[in-house]
Each structure stands twice: as structure tokens, then as C-alpha cells.
Amino acid sequence: MARANFVLGVIGLLLFLSTAPARAGILLTGATGETVYGASAFCCVDNAGAIYLLNNITGASDILASPGNGFQTANPVFGNNVAQSGLFAAPYFFSWTGGSSPDGAFGAGVTSNGGQTIGFGLNDADAGCCTASYTITSVFDNYIVSGSSFTGNLGAYLSIAGVNLTGADSSIASLVVEYQINNGSVISLPQMVLAAIGDCSTSVAIGGSGAALLNDACSSGGNGGAYSGLAIDNFSVVDLPVGTTIQVTATLTAYSDPSSVGSYNPDATLISDTGATLPDFALVDTGTEDPVPEPGTLALVGVGLLAMGGVIRRRGRRTRR
């Protein structure tokens, strides 16, 4: 039987504040988002670049169907969704365990969406062939330059870690980001894609400023193992005046088959391996540990709420939502 946990408002704020340090100079003034979980079959080896599907929420082709480079192609369309949060103000927390789509069984997923930082964890322990669990989170963020003008690197980064259980397993994630300054022209950051396979036969690490993937399977004889990866996009700005507004739209896609994959606070070694630095201010990132609160915390949250009253080619196929 499927099991859900969906907590908004106060608890989401507490989770977000516990994982995302305050950053002076640019302030997040509002955010909304939506998260879905599902299970998709995959087929058809993609030897070219990454394939994206159209996202009905953002209006952009930003849902990863395949990372390319020899990985297969999934089909994360609406009919394969198992659970969907709906569009809510961030921060929010949404988790789901079990259930199935026409393509197969879903494992377990958890997301803590703070708008600026997306914490997530996805696990698929089903060793059966040809179905992967997936999660998709889209966010709409609004920022303002406050206090003093901003000079430095803006950007985004995708950071993940997990375990591929055997040589046949794979873990994949992507982050696609668009932004506007003062509601001007939409600017797309380069795609960020990370993909690790348990036999080390192929991999993907793409970032506009740099990317790295560390895969223990490459030193274990291709029998699976832990991995971590980081992809970074940076762009420099000079004297962004006080009062400047920044609008951001971003979508995170992740797959586990069967494996675990989740957000990760990158260490100095992983950052160095990318050949880049993290942005001085990240508009969107996954730089936090998996959001897995203790059961007691969730119980306290429930009491609090009651007291308050209550997978580069872009294809235009319509997809989930």
C-alpha cells in the first residue's frame, strides 16, 4: 500500500532553515513548487546527447528522459506518475512510499523544497528488470538584491550522492535553470547532468563551468558501489544594484534503478575535481543532505499543524502534470 507524508508551512520552513544558510545581499522573497514521483520503463539506448521532455508546469523542455552517452531512455509522463504534490508555496516537504504506475512499482522518495535549495532522496530496491523510480521537482523563485549591490558569481549547482547496488544499476539526475533579471529576457543556464552506472561502463558529468563524478564501481571491478557527483554553472555580474529583481525557473529530475540517489553537500575534494568553484550565490542548488527527518520530528509537526487549525536534444513531447 502506498504511504504519503505531506507537510507544508511551518515544518517546511524549519527543515529549509536547518539546511540552507542565510546568504546576505540577495534575498529570496517568494517561491512556489511542485513535486511528483513515478515509475517508468526504459528502453532504446541513447548514444547521443541528453533528451528532455516538455514540462506542462514550467512550459520548458526541462524534464530529463535520458542523459545520453549509452544510457537508456525513460518515459516520465503523466500516466506514469504515482504521487503528485500539486503546486504549493515553498518551503514544503513531500514524501511517498510504494504504489505503482502502468510501467511498474515505485520505491520511496522524499523532497524538502525550500525554493533555493532542493533536498531530495530517492530509493528503488526492486531488482526486477526495466523500470526505474523517478522524481521531478519544479520551482519558481523570486529574489531581490538588498542592502548593497552585488558583484560576484551567480549560478546554480547539482550535487548528488548514493549507491548503485550491483553492476546493472544506475543513478541519474539533472537540473535545468532559467532566469530573468528585472523580468527581462529569459536566459538559460547550461544543462547540468550527472549519471553513474554500477559497472562503470559509462558515465555523464555535464556542467557549464565544470563537473565531476566519483564512482567507486570503477575500482570495485564494476560490481556497484557508492558514488558522488557535482555539476556547476557560474556567471559573473558586476554591481547588480539594490532593488534588482531576479526570477528563476528550475526543474530537478532524478532516477534510481535500483539504487539510491539524493542531494549532497559537496566536499572540498569533489568541488576541486570539477575545476570550478561553487557560485558566490546559488539561485538553485541541491547542496544539502537527504531530507530524512526523525519520526518524532514529524509527530511534533503534526501536533503543531493541528494546533494551527489545520532522463543536447530537446523534444517537445508533452509530459506529466
Residue with grid cell 489545520, as numbered in its chain: 310
Domain count, the chain: 1
Give per-residue pLDDT as tens, 267-314: 999 999 999 999 999 999 999 976 654 333 333 333 333 333 332 223
- 2 vs 230: which has the higher pLDDT: 230
Pairing outcome for strands 131-145 and 187-188: unpaired
Across the range 124-149, mean pLDDT stands at: 89
Give per-residue pLDDT as tens, 160-193: 999 998 998 999 999 999 999 999 999 999 999 9
pLDDT above 60: residue 6: no
Q: What secondary structure, in 3-state letters, does the chain show?
A: CCEEEEEECHHHHHHHHHHCCCCCCEEEEEEEEEEEEEEEEEEEEECCCCEEEECCCCCCEEEEEECCCCEEEECCCHHHEEEECCCEECCEEEEEECCEECCEECCEEEEEECCCEEEEEEECCCCCCCEEEEEEEEEEEEEEECCCCEEEEEEEEEEEEEEECCCCCEEEEEEEEEEEECCCCCEECCCEEEEEECCCCCEEEECCCEEEEEEHHHHCCCCCEEEEEEEEEEEEEEEECCCCEEEEEEEEEEEEECEEEEECCCCHHHHHHHCCCCCCEEEEECCCCCCCCCHHHHHHHHHHHHHHCCCCEEEEEECCC
| Beta carbons within 10 angstroms of residue 15's beta carbon | 23
pLDDT band at 129, cuts 50/70/90?
A: low
Q: What is the CA radius of gyration of the chain?
A: 19
pLDDT band at 22, cuts 50/70/90?
A: very low
C-alpha 170: how far from its chain's center? Answer: 16
pTM above 0.75, yes or no: yes
Give per-residue pLDDT as tens, 86-118: 999 999 999 999 999 999 999 999 999 999 999
- CA distances (Å), 5 to each of 52, 95, 117, 134, 218, in order? 29, 5, 20, 17, 37
Give per-residue pLDDT as tens, 251-270: 999 999 989 999 999 999 99
Across the range 132-144, mean pLDDT stands at: 97
Give per-residue pLDDT as tens, 143-168: 999 999 999 999 999 999 999 989 98
Containing structural domain, residue 136? 3-318
Phi then psi for 226, rounded to 5 degrees?
Answer: -75, 155
Across the range 59-88, mean pLDDT stands at: 96
pLDDT score for 2: 56
pLDDT above 50: residue 196: yes
